[in-house]
Structure 1
Amino acid sequence: MFIAFLIMLREGIEAALIVGIVAGFLKQSGHSRLMPKVWLGVVLAALMCLALGYGIHRETGEIPQKQQELVVGIIGLVAVAMISYMILWMQKAARSMKQHVQQSVQAALNRGNGHGWALVGMAFLAVAREGLESVFFLIAVFQQSPSWRMPAGAVLGLAAAVLIGTLIYQGGIRINLAKFFRWTGVFLIVVAAGLLAGSLRALHEAGVWNHFQDTAFHAAHILHEDSPLGVILGGFFGYSDHPSRGEVGAWLLYLIPMLFWFLRSSKPLPAR
């Protein structure tokens, strides 16, 4: 539940920041009448992401087990790639995000009669990007740890993101975005490493990946994967009490470089 909450909280706040910057700029420039266009883009993107997520989840459950494992593995790899890009992009773009978004809005306003639809497109793309990342990541995590707590956590995370985004826009709250994105980034990198290992496990079950399958170690005597804590760690980080050498290798080869790159280039951002 917590991991779904955190994913939607982070992704939701990113989308809320962009929409909030657009809304604030329109308000300051006397174009508040165009806000319905922005909300239209937000709603269209949200509906598209919900439909896509539901469609993928439904179709995955209706195919044979072996092919289902293949789909699970592919979705996991796509999710790892998307979340990695999101983390690194956000780290790089956060500094100039406000200026870039405001310049894009101003350019849209300068186009004349078509600026309303340009704003729809901006809001749609902002929400769709974060929404698609969330869809793939949540589906991949949910397939590793199916439980009603996952969708419940996602809904709570999205609600919290909307509330925080609203308070930021209205000036009712100031948060240190640098620390927020830094620590959630670290956590999601660890989650993505476990997801990558789990994806290799699924591809092996599908008969696609059969290399380095000898067991790296046995840890059931320390923490069984079916124990309450083992289930939680499995859902969060892809924990297994008997991982293969390929899974351990993939976990380390992803985690160490990503953490090093992320932490080395992280620099403080001003609080909002």
Structure 2
Amino acid sequence: MFVPFLIMLREGIEAALIVGIVAGYLSQTGRHQWLPYVWIGILLALGFSLLTGAAIQYGNAEFPQKIQEIFEAVIGFVAVGVLTSMVLWMKKAARSMAKSLRVSIDEALAARSSANGLGLIALVFFAVAREGVESVFFLLAAFQQSHSAEAPTGALLGLLCSVGIGYGIYVGGLRLNLTRFFRWTGIFILAVAAGVLSSSMKSLHEAGIWNYAQAVVFDWSNTLPVGSPLGVFLSGIFGYQDTPTVSEITVYFAYLAATLYVFLCPSRKSDPVKDKIAQGQA
């Protein structure tokens, strides 16, 4: 429940920041008549994300067991890819997000025709749909590991909390240190992604595709079985297995070491003004 909650909270806040910047800039520049187009873009993006998830889930239900294992592995790999790109992209783009969006808005509304409304809709749609599709792929991977109602509940709570936080940021009554928030959640999400990657390797083995380095590293099935309360918790968050193989352990720590190094490596250039804006203190 906690992992879907955190993912949707982070994704929701990212989307809320984008929408808040767009709506706030339109209001500040006296373009209130364009605000309905922002809502149209949001609704279209949400619908597209839901349809994407439903189509993938429906297709999975029609597959035989072996194909389902391959499908789960592929979904896991895609989830790892989008989670990694999400974390690293946010590190790079957070400081210049507001400026870039304002330039994009001006360009979308530059033409004096009805097409500029479509440009604004497209801007919001692609910005929000990006976060939505990322969430879909991760949540599908998370739901495959947990079939209880806790995962969807956690995702819904995370989304609702992000909407509340986003609205608070938009009206100016809530200050959030975004740099610190995205740093710590980024570290946690990379650890989660490492577990998803390890589980995907296990699915490939169960599908009969990957049969290398399958020696068991340790056996904790009696000490900390994956079916125990703590085992379920660790499995749901970090992809814990009580009998991990060399292959699973290797990809887990290799991915985690590489991504944490890139993520925590300081940027070459630092702008104090932009840092202050990114932290939500300006």
Quote how far apart the aligned CAs of 1:90 are. 0.4
Aligned residue pairs total: 272
Aligned position for 1:165:
166
| CA–CA separation in structure 1 for the residues paired with 2:19 and 2:280 | 18
Aligned position for 1:50:
50
Aligned position for 1:3:
3
Do the aligned residues in 2 keep the contact of 1:70 with 1:203 (CA within 8 Å)? yes
Quote how far apart the aligned CAs of 1:220 are. 2.2
Instruction: Give per-residue Cα distances to partners, 1:66-109, cap 9 Å, x unaligned.
Output: 11000000000011011101100000000000000011111112
The one-letter code matched in structure 2 to 1:70 is I
Instruction: Give per-residue Cα distances to partners, 1:27-57, cap 9 Å, x unaligned.
Output: 0111111111111011001011111112212
Do the aligned residues in 2 keep the contact of 1:145 with 1:234 (CA within 8 Å)? no
Aligned position for 1:185:
186
Aligned position for 1:22:
22
Aligned position for 2:60:
60
Quote how far apart the aligned CAs of 1:271 are. 2.4
Do the aligned residues in 2 keep the contact of 1:215 with 1:244 (CA within 8 Å)? yes
Instruction: Give per-residue Cα distances to partners, 1:180-223, cap 9 Å, x unaligned.
Output: 10011011000000000000000111111111111111122331
Aligned position for 2:210:
209
Quote how far apart the aligned CAs of 1:23 are. 0.2
The one-letter code matched in structure 2 to 1:197 is S
Aligned position for 2:106:
106
Work out whether 1:36 is the aligned partner of 2:36.
yes
More moved, 63-72 vs 106-115: 106-115
Instruction: Give per-residue Cα distances to partners, 1:147-195, cap 9 Å, x unaligned.
Output: 1111111111111111111110000100000111001101100000000
SS at match of 1:182: helix
- Under a length normalisation based on structure 1, what TM-score does the superposition of the two structures give? 0.97
Aligned position for 1:270:
279
Aligned position for 2:238:
237
The one-letter code matched in structure 2 to 1:99 is K
Aligned position for 2:176:
175
SS at match of 2:148: coil
Aligned position for 1:253:
254
RMSD between aligned residues: 1.2
Work out whether 1:96 is the aligned partner of 2:105.
no
Identity of aligned residues (%): 50
Work out whether 1:122 is the aligned partner of 2:123.
yes
Do the aligned residues in 1 keep the contact of 2:176 with 2:279 (CA within 8 Å)? no
Quote how far apart the aligned CAs of 1:224 are. 1.1
Do the aligned residues in 2 keep the contact of 1:49 with 1:131 (CA within 8 Å)? yes
Quote how far apart the aligned CAs of 1:270 are. 2.5
| CA–CA separation in structure 1 for the residues paired with 2:31 and 2:93 | 26
The one-letter code matched in structure 1 to 2:144 is Q
Instruction: Give per-residue Cα distances to partners, 1:232-270, cap 9 Å, x unaligned.
Output: 111111100101100000001100111122112378642
* Large movers: runs of 4+ above 3 Å: 266-269
| CA–CA separation in structure 1 for the residues paired with 2:149 and 2:76 | 20
**Unaligned 5+ residue runs, structure 1?**
none
Aligned position for 2:76:
76
| CA–CA separation in structure 1 for the residues paired with 2:95 and 2:24 | 17
| CA–CA separation in structure 2 for the residues paired with 1:19 and 1:5 | 20
SS at match of 2:95: coil
Aligned position for 1:142:
143
